[in-house]
């Protein structure tokens, strides 16, 4: 396995029809935004489910901390999940 880095992960949001909001439907891997959008169309709208597609690099999304629910909700900001590639390790440090 010689790919120096992994191909980045993107979250996909689709609005099936006008009038509805975009809904999260999953993720995929693509090297850049253009290819991510195309892949989203191929993967998540093969049966014509899509009107509008949003793709976002997964690590760009900020999530609230689910343990902070309830009255004392203090937004502790976190990643949407703990993916190995979300925490960048400098190249010099090597494979981790």
Which positions touch another protein (CB under 8 A)? Answer: 1-7, 9, 25-32, 34-35, 38-39, 41-43, 46-47, 63, 65-67, 78, 80-85
Site of tokens 């509008």: 52
C-beta closer to another protein: residue 56 or 80:
80
C-beta closer to another protein: residue 66 or 90:
66
Q: Read off φ and ψ for residue 55, nearest 5 degrees.
A: -125, 140
C-beta closer to another protein: residue 7 or 56:
7
Tokens of 66: 């689910």
13 membership: H or E segment, kind and range: strand 9-15
Cα end-to-end span (Å), the chain: 14
Q: Minimum CB separation from another protein for residue 44, in Å?
A: 9
Q: Minimum CB separation from another protein for residue 22, in Å?
A: 15
The 8-class DSSP code of residue 20 comes to: S
């Amino acid at each position: 396995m010689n790919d120096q880095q992994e191909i980045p992960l993107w979250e996909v949001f689709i609005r099936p029809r006008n009038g509805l909001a975009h809904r999260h439907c999953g993720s995929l891997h693509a090297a850049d935004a253009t290819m991510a959008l195309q892949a989203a169309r191929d993967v998540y709208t093969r049966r014509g489910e899509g009107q509008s597609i949003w793709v976002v690099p997964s690590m760009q999304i900020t999530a609230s901390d689910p343990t902070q629910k309830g009255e004392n909700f203090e937004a502790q900001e976190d990643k949407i999940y703990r993916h190995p590639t979300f925490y960048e390790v400098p190249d010099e440090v090597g494979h981790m």
